[in-house]
Structure 1
């Protein structure tokens, strides 16, 4: 039996067909690797302006609710990760011009306040907070972790 090569084999897994292989992980871990969800959610993920962020977050939340209706926890969690990533990336751009936090010597670059990106971040943060308080999502998360680790 071939041993699972995480880096290579992970890219070919359909997590909708094999939800038992999905690990919730920390934060946004795996957000750009878990298919088919990445391909379904990523086209909606934008934060350039608050207006764009608002449309983006609402579209991702529609997907979150659609996954809930389909009893698809992995999809729900992936939508949560994209919402969280909308917040963290917009905050990064709000704090650092060009979104680059470190220089080549791994020293933190000076802070630069970009109010537009901060407003985009706040939009995603509000939706992320709603998900973190969603009792159904939290119960499904606990159930998935108990069942699959």
Structure 2
């Protein structure tokens, strides 16, 4: 199968809604800034500025997830999952590291603090709840298995 890799440039030249067979699930948050049309639909909803913004963002992304699920659009479902995961990981980085800086200028990793930013921790936990809902959703699990069986 001809699945684009992250080294294919800033954007893939594929509409994954029209060509779902080209969508590779990948690991973690892979492709969140490249896979269209989902990036264009989800990125404007994504924010972890503070707890309230994160809550609104997670709810909006989850609503998109439900829309993709109703449409049987697995790439959309998976991309919504990735944006929820990314909301959690980015907010948690700021929660543990002052200014979100995990590495020093020399490249060595800083020691995480418990908790450098309580508001970002609350934001992360809001994303985590929705991310978990998606991961545990039977419809998501079944669609993921079908996608793998058909396309990977």
- Asked if these proteins are the same fold (TM beyond 0.5), I'd say yes
Q: Is the 8 A contact 2:50 2:119 kept in 1?
A: yes
Shift of 1:131: 1.0
Q: Which residue of 2 aligns with 1:51?
A: 52
CA 1:146–1:9 in structure 2 vs 1: closer, same or farther (change >3 Å)?
A: farther
CA 1:71–1:99 in structure 2 vs 1: closer, same or farther (change >3 Å)?
A: same
Shift of 1:24: 0.6
Instruction: Give the stretch that moved more between structures: 133-142 or 107-116.
Output: 107-116
Q: Is the counterpart of residue 133 in structure 1 residue 136 in structure 2? A: yes
Gaps of 5+ in 2: none
Q: Please point out which of 110, 117, 120 is paired with 1:117.
A: 120
Instruction: Give the structure-1-normalised TM-score.
Output: 0.92
RMSD: 1.6
Q: Which residue of 1 aligns with 2:26?
A: 25
Q: Which residue of 2 aligns with 1:105?
A: 106
2-side partners of 1:100 and 1:88: how far apart? 13
Q: Which runs of 4+ in 1 moved over 4 A?
A: none
Q: Which residue of 1 aligns with 2:8?
A: 7
**CA offset digits 1:41-65 (Å, max 9, x no partner):** 0000001111111100000011001
2-side partners of 1:14 and 1:100: how far apart? 34
Question: What secondary structure does 1:12 align onto?
Answer: coil
Q: Is the 8 A contact 2:10 2:34 kept in 1?
A: no
Work out the number of aligned pairs and report it. 146
Q: Which residue of 2 aligns with 1:68?
A: 69
Instruction: Give the stretch that moved more between structures: 4-13 or 15-24.
Output: 4-13
Shift of 1:71: 1.0
CA 1:9–1:147 in structure 2 vs 1: closer, same or farther (change >3 Å)?
A: farther
